Amino acid sequence: MTHEDKGHFSKKHPEGLEIIPEIAEAIKQKASDGTITCAAAHGIAKELNRPPSLVGMNIDFLELSLSKCQLGLYGYGPGKRIVKPAETVSDELETAIRDSIVDGRVPCISLWNIAERFGIKKMDASSACDALKIKIKPCQLGAF
């Protein structure tokens, strides 16, 4: 999404899709100052047993911004992202990340799974990607 499109998040979705009232209501309850955190959005998805992508689409329809990405990639104030390259990456972690690459990038969900499998924080997994110069995409919520 370009800077000029900011605030028009619903335009990135095909025509004909509609907001889902149950999801929209849950989002409104968790949103504050025009934003909702990644963790809150995923909490809604889990609570309502809906895919994160559907929650993300409804966030877009409500023209809200996502903040505090659990991988540290967006939504952290002036600097936007807080993830920094890891100083070292174990061979096992590098292999797991490289084995998860799809179309030249690692999907967000894959990093979540890797973090769980290795018993590390999600941001540590994204930090390893940063050190390996591997991009992360797509976001489960559709932010990127």
Closest CA to 90 of 131, 121, 135: 131
Q: What's the rounded Cα separation, in Å, for the pair 125 and 94? A: 10
User: Which tens digits make up the pLDDT trace of 33-84?
Assistant: 999 999 999 999 999 999 999 999 999 999 999 999 999 999 898 768 899 9
Dihedral angle of Cα 84, 36, 57, 69, to the nearest 10 degrees: 10
pTM of the model: 0.88
Q: To which H or E segment does residue 131 belong?
A: helix 122-132
Number of neighbours of residue 87 by Cβ within 10 angstroms: 7
Q: What DSSP designation does 32 have? A: B
